[in-house]
Amino acid sequence: MHDEAMTPDAQFERHKPLLFSIAYRMLGSVMDAEDVVQEAYLRWQTAASAQSIDAPKAYLASIATRLSIDQLKSARHQREVYVGEWLPQPLIGEHDDPANDPDTLSLAFLKVLESLSPIERAVLLLHDVFEYGFDEIAPIVGKSRDNCRQILHRARKAVEERRPRYQVDQAQHEALLARFVQAAGDGDLEGLMALLTADAVSYSDGGGKVHAALRPVHTAEHVARFMIGLAGRIAADQTARFETINGRSALVICNADGSRASVTAFDTTGDRIRGIYIVVNPEKLGA
């Protein structure tokens, strides 16, 4: 059914997954993305009741992007005073992702986006992930078409320098994680190191709410020793399982009451792990 034949509420519901997908990638927070979607709905109700909108999808995407840019600017100070490493809030379970791109949903990719300005982030995501043209992007971010091209070039270069992209096979990813978890549980230092790239890094996010490493852990040996130490601290009444987190399998440690104690996502190159992202901040584990 075309948008024109749908009620305003039905039109919004049709494009709601896209709005959440944009906002979550922009903000790295499920809660903030949901707030953006709710605010977009309120603005849509006002606009839809006052006039006929020719392109609802473009209109709503524009609102979500602008709201996300404003949210990022206001959140900058909070990120600067955050205790320890800030990691994106895990997106738990299967989700309707219009972009259909697990790589750009990963905690690793979202962490890299933190190095970009809000405008750079918006241009990169809209063009490379959601396939918007420069003529559509320019009015959304308030820049010229040519300026958007330059912004995209800078953003791509910054992302590629921090995180080269690899084609990741899901079955290979899951098999690698299973071997890693087994080796960590066995205290097999050499086995763990063989599964890590030489420059592997582990990040932990406790947000000052629970104990967590305040700085990244670097190199295969240090990361392997760190992970063996964490495996040894899993309580007897806690259980470990794999869940779909941000579009790929990740390790989840659950408490006896079923609540999540931690989510650990892995950034893999195919046959090695280059990044480990451990979220233990309880405020980020309930969504």
Residue 163: its pLDDT value, please?
85
Residue 2: its pLDDT value, please?
61
CA distance 140 to 176: 41
DSSP 253: E
DSSP H or E segment with residue 35: helix 30-50
Please name every residue paired with 276 in a beta bridge, in sequence order, or none if there are none.
202, 266
Q: How many CA atoms lie within 13 A of 250 on its CB side?
A: 30
Domain extent listing, the chain = 3-162, 170-284
Domain 170-284, CATH 3.10.450.50 — does that match? yes
Instruction: Count CB-CB contacts under 10 A for residue 87.
Output: 27
Q: Which pTM was predicted?
A: 0.93
Q: Which region, left, alpha or beta, applies to residue 3 given φ > 0 means left and ψ of -120 to 50 means alpha?
A: alpha
Q: How confident is the model at residue 194 (pLDDT cuts 50, 70, 90)?
A: very high
- Whether 50 shows a pLDDT value over 60: the answer reads no
- Whether 54 shows a pLDDT value over 60: the answer reads yes
| Percent share of the chain, pLDDT over 90 | 79
Of 76, 77, 267, 19, give the one whose Cα is nearest residue 164.
Answer: 267
Q: Which region, left, alpha or beta, applies to residue 106 given φ > 0 means left and ψ of -120 to 50 means alpha?
A: beta
Residue 261: its pLDDT value, please?
96
Convert the pLDDT of each residue in 234-254 to its tens digit. 999 999 999 999 999 999 999
Convert the pLDDT of each residue in 259-287 to its tens digit. 999 999 999 998 899 999 999 999 999 75
Convert the pLDDT of each residue in 141-152 to its tens digit. 999 999 999 999
Q: How confident is the model at residue 4 (pLDDT cuts 50, 70, 90)?
A: low
Please name every residue paired with 222 in a beta bridge, in sequence order, or none if there are none.
none
| Percent share of the chain, pLDDT over 70 | 96
Q: How confident is the model at residue 60 (pLDDT cuts 50, 70, 90)?
A: very high
Pick 3-162's CATH classification: 1.20.140.160, 3.40.50.2300, 3.40.50.300, 1.10.620.20.
1.20.140.160
Convert the pLDDT of each residue in 99-123 to its tens digit. 888 899 999 999 999 999 999 999 9
| Average pLDDT, integer, range 117-134 | 97
Convert the pLDDT of each residue in 165-182 to its tens digit. 777 888 999 999 999 999
- The dihedral over CA atoms of 278, 117, 131, 46, expressed in degrees to the nearest 10, equals 100
Cβ partners under 8 Å of residue 29, min gap 6: 88, 89
Comparing 194 with 2, which gets the higher pLDDT?
Answer: 194
DSSP H or E segment with residue 279: strand 273-279
Computed over every residue of the chain, the mean pLDDT equals: 92
